[in-house]
Amino acid sequence: MQRVLTAQQDKVLRRERELLAELRVQLARLDASEEDLGLLLTGLKQLEELFLLVVVGEFNAGKSAFLNALLGDRYLKEGVTPTTGQINLLRYGEGPEVTQERLESEVVRFYLPVSWLQEVNLVDTPGTNAVIQRHQEITEHFVPRSDLVLFVTSADRPFSESERQFLERIRQWGKKIVIVLNKIDLMEDATDLAQVIDFVRTNARQLLGSDPQIFPVSARLALKAKQAAKLNGGQVNTDPQWALSRFEALENFIRISLDSTERVRLKLGNPLGVAEQLLRSYREIIVNRQTLLREDFQTLDVIDEQLDAYQVDMRRDFRYQRDRVDNVLYAMMERGDSFFDDTLRITRILELINAERMRGEFERVVMADTSREIEQYVGELIDWMVDKDYRQWQAVMEYLNRRVAEHSDRMVGKVGSEFEFNRQKLLASVGRSAREVVDSYDRGAEALKLGREVQRAIIQTAAVEVGALGLGAVLVAVLQTTMLDVTGVLGASAVAALGLYVLPYRRQKIKADLRTRITDLRERLDAAMTRQFNSELQESVQRIKEAIAPYTRFVRVEREKLDLLDGELARLHTELATLNEDVRSLK
């Protein structure tokens, strides 16, 4: 850039540096590629360099011949095959001889004794349609660094398909493009030339969205005129070939129209064009990632809904399982009522005196298979809970596996980005955790563990000691006091005192006591089973939630991060638009 800037230009330059630096930081947070971050860094460095004019075009369009005509001598090789297989940086050299230095394997810097290169650097690139693919790649890599692009096309083959595609890529970088229509000396008459110019203008307008500047020239005639003038010491504008070449208009544009202010505008505008392209690209990446994260949130919502429905279904079905146990106790209560109604009668006084016989009858008629039935139903309840827990893990695993499969090949943004890698890794990890739980699920061990927990809870609430016996032993222990009451009432001394009115009273009391004890037992059993059920249900749900917790955290953190970055990039986009306007209005 020119060494002395106006106060206005200097202010814009400082703002641009700050914007490019901040954009680079924000894009790095989006896992931007090193190549894209490098473009911004290059843009910052180029703000300190001379104006860069890049010449591009197909290898047979006469780029090298055009540059030789522009420079006034045959400095570059010309040929009918792709002779330029490298980037040639053309800079001013103080000595009379042409010197060169290789900067990279495919970049060579030439120092030429051409005075106007003190203000402008020229770049000669390989052909856009070169047979050697690497030639085109280095050309496309270099274009984003340009301040102005001279696109050279041939009058005998204007605006080919490869040229159209290449111009489209240049346009995306927001570059100012000037079209040089070379080899006009091949046209037979002015009418043919006018048609070609119109053809190029129409196609360029459709592609670029505006009328580009077009300079029809004959580089061959222009170079001949310059070489003749140099050899003869005359003026180039007196040579008829110079007029026929129509080269003067192009040189005036480059040397006069591109004055210092215009060069500053283009120089400052170049990195902004690159920044705008990157902003568009990465804001689109944000939108795509946000869409994917919304789908991830829907996945989590579906799992939450599944878990909620699972708990509702489990609680509803648990009532049915619990009622089966209650019904066994209700049936025993009814048998107890019938037993005491049939047994506690004056007519059976002699039988009542035999306490052992009465106890045996009570256990046979009233207790019956109650213990076995309760143990069976509690066991079935435990098996049901274990099976439901297992099936819920299976449902979550299958759903997550489908989710991973649906998006296994869906990449957002740059291939191999950290966002996509972490997301796929967590999805796979959650599915793997669920699969491991399902594969290692030992239903027998889980049922035994749960059964012991239920038994322990019931024993603790009943406040009895039954050792390692089952639930039947608990029931016998709880109901044993009822039989003690019965036999205590029916002792020999008591029988003598019993009358017709006392025995019915005692019968009702014993029946009421039995109901109370069975009701108390049922409530304790219900409470113990309900507590254990709720505890196991919560643990089941919590295990699933803990398994998907890393994925859940990732989705939430990424959404917050993307929302923040989207706001930052939107702000930078607004600042960029303002800065572009300020650059265009520079004086």
The rounded distance, in Å, linking the Cα atoms of 102 and 63 is 21
Query: Which range is most confident: 181-190, 414-423, 453-462, 488-497?
Result: 181-190
- DSSP for 248-314, written as a single string: HHHHHIIIIIS-HHHHHHHHHHHHHHHHHHHHHHHHHHHHHHHHHHHHHHHHHHHHHHHHHHHHHHH
For residue 94, pLDDT over 90 is answered with no
Find residue 112's DSSP bridge partners.
92
Cβ contact 464:525 at 8 Å: no
Q: Which residue type does 492 have? A: A
**Average pLDDT for 164-193:** 86
Share of the chain above pLDDT 90, in %: 20
**Average pLDDT for 16-28:** 93
CA neighbours closer than 13 Å in the CB half-sphere of residue 282: 29
Q: What burial letters (b/e) apply to 293-321, b meaning 16+ CB within 10 Å?
A: beebeebeeebeeebeebbeebeeebeeb
Look-up: residue for tokens 């006392």? Answer: 502
**Average pLDDT for 526-538:** 82
**Average pLDDT for 522-544:** 82
The per-residue pLDDT for 407 is 53
Q: Which residue type does 370 have? A: T
Look-up: residue for tokens 């110079």? Answer: 242
3-state SS string for 193-253: HHHHHHHHHHHHHHHHCCCCEEEECCHHHHHHHHHHHHHHCCCHHHCHHHHHHCHHHHHHH
For residue 399, pLDDT over 50 is answered with yes
Cβ contact 555:297 at 8 Å: yes
> Who's near 145: CB < 8 A, 6+ residues apart?
42, 43, 46, 52, 54, 270
Least confident of 222-231, 362-371, 494-503: 494-503
The rounded distance, in Å, linking the Cα atoms of 569 and 286 is 10
The rounded distance, in Å, linking the Cα atoms of 381 and 324 is 10
For residue 462, pLDDT over 50 is answered with no
**Confidence at 453, pLDDT banded by 50, 70, 90:** low
The rounded distance, in Å, linking the Cα atoms of 471 and 535 is 20
**Average pLDDT for 353-381:** 76
The per-residue pLDDT for 455 is 53
**Confidence at 503, pLDDT banded by 50, 70, 90:** low
The dihedral built from the CA positions of residue 294, 297, 303 and 305, taken in this order, carries a sign that is: negative
**Average pLDDT for 111-134:** 76
Q: Which residue type does 53 have? A: L
For residue 491, pLDDT over 60 is answered with no
The per-residue pLDDT for 333 is 87
DSSP designation for 50? P
The rounded distance, in Å, linking the Cα atoms of 375 and 528 is 14
**Confidence at 577, pLDDT banded by 50, 70, 90:** very high
For residue 8, pLDDT over 90 is answered with no
**Average pLDDT for 418-446:** 53
The rounded distance, in Å, linking the Cα atoms of 247 and 241 is 10
The per-residue pLDDT for 264 is 83
Look-up: residue for tokens 């007196």? Answer: 238
The rounded distance, in Å, linking the Cα atoms of 70 and 74 is 10
pTM: 0.59
The rounded radius of gyration (Å) of the Cα atoms in the chain is 46
Least confident of 71-85, 208-222, 465-479: 465-479
Which among 184, 190, 193, 198 has a CA at the least distance from the CA of 241?
184
For residue 465, pLDDT over 60 is answered with no
Q: How far is CA 300 from CA 198, 296, 431, in A?
A: 59, 6, 13
The per-residue pLDDT for 354 is 64
Look-up: residue for tokens 């990039």? Answer: 569
What is the enclosing helix (H) or strand (E) of 100?
strand 99-104
CA neighbours closer than 13 Å in the CB half-sphere of residue 85: 8
Instruction: Report the side by side order of strands in the sheet with 87-92.
Output: 99-104, 107-112, 87-92, 120-124, 51-57, 148-154, 177-182, 213-216
Find residue 104's DSSP bridge partners.
107
Across all residues in the chain, what is the average pLDDT?
78
Long-range CB contacts for residues 130-134, cutoff 8 Å, separation at least 24:
130/59, 130/82, 130/85, 131/82, 132/82, 132/85, 134/85, 134/106
CA neighbours closer than 13 Å in the CB half-sphere of residue 507: 21
Angle between helix 219-232 and helix 63-71 axes, rounded to 10 deg: 30
Q: What burial letters (b/e) apply to 467-495, b meaning 16+ CB within 10 Å?
A: eeebbbbbbbbbbeebbebbbebbeeeee
The tokens describing 539, both together, are 């643990």
Cβ contact 473:466 at 8 Å: yes
Which among 438, 392, 443 has a CA at the least distance from the CA of 545?
392
CB atoms within 10 A of CB 364: 10
